[in-house]
């Protein structure tokens, strides 16, 4: 099944464009779910939803509707995945209330076995690796990356272009998880020049791999009028900050720390 959705759904700017003009907030999700079959919930990044809220979401959507929940910022940004066992456990409990089969990879000794147990022994039809270059779990590769950071900049650039290696624990797990003949989608960014991959496993399992940036040309002609003719979707307000390219390092640092309310930055040449 193909799942299609957007990042969030409760936008007043969508009234009279996507939603009926007089729709109430409590009716937005049910209307949305009649058009799409999945949604990314941004709300969970800033606060844990109450059980009553989760129950309302479930009641407002069909059985096969898919929710994608953003991990709380306490887990990913404030504590940076360190000492977050209690917070992660609470987050996963909330996810399960939406019907999500959540698996804690730190607590589960056999992740592949657990996933196959949920899929009649076959493995999932599709696996998404959204981790990318900052994945942890490979001490040797981590040491190599840290060592390269001590090199002079010109040498470091050549090293990464020719000998750069990513930490691949998340990608290797994704390859193990996907079923034979399944699809592996890599949206996390990798940049290693000589990353070792289990080609025998990929070939034997007949895995289809899709990766890279979104190819948006298919939709450009349809989307441009919505972006330039009065900005009916309010996309100019999606960015929290607009800065010049000379401020890129400071903006990236603020984004990483979520300082000054930074969640999306637009650079203006």
The predicted-structure confidence for 4-51, as pLDDT tens digits, reads as follows 899 889 988 899 889 999 999 999 999 999 999 999 988 888 888 888
CATH architecture of the region 110-223: 3-Layer(aba) Sandwich (3.40)
The answer to whether residue 186 scores a pLDDT higher than 70 is yes
Q: What is the pLDDT of residue 157?
A: 56
pLDDT band at 167 (very low <50, low <70, confident <90, very high): low
CB 184 within 8 A of CB 174: yes
Mean pLDDT, rounded, of the chain: 82
Neighbours of 103 (CB within 10 A): 13
Domain definitions of the chain by residue range: 1-102, 110-223
Task: Tell me which long-range contacts 104-109 makes (C-beta under 8 A, separation of at least 24).
Answer: 105/173
Instruction: Please provide the CATH number assigned to the domain covering 1-102.
Output: 3.20.20.410
The answer to whether residue 78 scores a pLDDT higher than 60 is yes
Q: Which residues, in sequence order, are bridge partners of residue 183?
A: 126, 208
Beta strand 66-69 with 38-41 is parallel
CA dihedral over 148, 143, 178, 91, signed as positive or negative: negative
In whole angstroms, give the CA distance from residue 194 to residue 235.
39
Q: Which residues, in sequence order, are bridge partners of residue 81?
A: none
Q: What are phi and psi of 183, to 5 degrees?
A: -120, 135
Q: What is the pLDDT of residue 44?
A: 86
**Helix, strand, coil tally for the chain in percent (to 5):** 45, 10, 45
Between 54 and 149, the more confident residue is 54
Q: Which residues, in sequence order, are bridge partners of residue 184?
A: 127, 209
Q: What is the pLDDT of residue 164?
A: 45
């Amino acid at each position: 099944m193909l799942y299609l959705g957007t990042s969030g759904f409760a936008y007043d700017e969508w009234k009279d464009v996507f939603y009926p003009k007089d729709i109430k907030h409590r009716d937005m999700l049910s209307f949305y779910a009649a058009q799409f079959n999945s949604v990314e919930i941004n709300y969970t990044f800033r606060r844990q939803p109450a059980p009553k809220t989760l129950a309302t979401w479930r009641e407002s959507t069909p059985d096969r509707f898919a929710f994608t929940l953003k991990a709380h910022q306490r887990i990913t940004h404030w504590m940076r995945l360190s000492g977050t066992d209690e917070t992660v456990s609470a987050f996963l409990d909330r996810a399960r209330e939406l019907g999500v089969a959540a698996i804690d990879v730190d607590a589960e000794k056999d992740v592949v076995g657990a996933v196959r147990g949920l899929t009649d022994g076959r493995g999932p039809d599709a696996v998404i690796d959204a981790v990318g270059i900052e994945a942890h779990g490979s001490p040797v590769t981590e040491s190599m990356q840290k060592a390269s950071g001590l090199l002079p900049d010109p040498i470091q650039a050549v090293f990464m272009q020719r000998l750069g290696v990513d930490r691949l624990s998340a990608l290797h797990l994704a390859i193990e998880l996907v079923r034979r003949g399944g699809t592996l989608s890599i949206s996390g960014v990798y940049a290693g020049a000589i990353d070792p991959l289990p080609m025998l496993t990929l070939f034997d399992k007949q895995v289809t791999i899709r990766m890279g940036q979104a190819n948006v040309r298919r939709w450009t002609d349809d989307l441009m009028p919505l972006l330039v003719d009065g900005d009916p979707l309010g996309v100019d307000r999606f960015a929290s900050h607009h800065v010049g390219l000379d401020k890129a390092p400071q903006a990236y640092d603020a984004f990483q720390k979520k300082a000054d309310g930074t969640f999306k930055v637009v650079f203006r040449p």
